[in-house]
Amino acid sequence: MAGKKVLIVYAHQEPRSFNGSLKDVAVAELSRQGCTVTVSDLYAMDFEPRATRKDITGALSSPEFFSYGVEAYEACKKRSLTSDIIAEQKKVQEADLVMFQFPLYWFSVPAVLKGWMDRVLCQGFAFDLPGFYDDGLLKHGTLHFCGFKVLAPHISFAPEFASEEERRGMVASWAQRLKTIWKEEPIPCWPPWYFGQ
């Protein structure tokens, strides 16, 4: 898929980890396909995960009572979010495919990745009201709410307990999937799927 742009949002502390290997395989395979691949290595970037008033560079719309959601929304409209947030939003906007590579911590993403979502996928950028799920500004939870078309996750179960051969098989399985990832159909995500029929 020559000419396509891919963003990998990567959240692992150790470059030589299993997650690091999966990220490296994705970069190699997608680059081989002619894609331009950008990696946001959140730990290497020392990405700030906390959503605070420091994220707004201009005047607050309501200085007497700070509401992060309200202030981030207003700052997004005025382009007065901090440069790290704006840089990540630009990467997301330019990407044809956004991949999240991370270890599962307590049935969720690592704190630094959750912080990336909190700060980068703000109202006014990733969604608006109304304007979410299939009408989200970015067309499974957080991602579908923002309008992403979500592909099935690729999960490697318990690599720390697997043999070296089994881990090689997991990496090879990911590399094989990447060869046809552009042909995959999104998983069925619609509000009744979340909230019952």
* DSSP line for 53-74: GGGB-S--S-TTS--HHHHHHH
* Mean pLDDT confidence for 140-169: 86
Strands, E assignment, the chain: 5-10, 36-41, 97-101
- Is the pLDDT confidence value at 150 over 90? no
- Give me the architecture of the 5-195 domain, per CATH: 3-Layer(aba) Sandwich (3.40)
- The answer to whether 73 and 122 are in contact (CB under 8 A) is yes
Domain ranges of the chain: 5-195
Give the separation between CA 113 and CA 10, rounded to whole angstroms.
Answer: 8
- Is the pLDDT confidence value at 116 over 70? yes
What's the confidence (pLDDT) of residue 141? 59
The angle subtended at Cα 122 by Cα 38 and Cα 183, nearest 5°, is 45
- Is the pLDDT confidence value at 7 over 70? yes
30-89 pLDDT, tens digit per residue, is: 999 999 999 999 999 999 999 999 999 989 999 999 999 999 999 999 999 999 999 999
Q: Could you tell me whether strands 36-41 and 97-101 are parallel, antiparallel, or unpaired per DSSP bridges?
A: unpaired
What's the confidence (pLDDT) of residue 145? 72
For residue 129, what is the DSSP state?
S
What's the confidence (pLDDT) of residue 52? 97
Top mean pLDDT of 80-84, 142-146, 154-158 is at 80-84
Average pLDDT score over the chain: 89
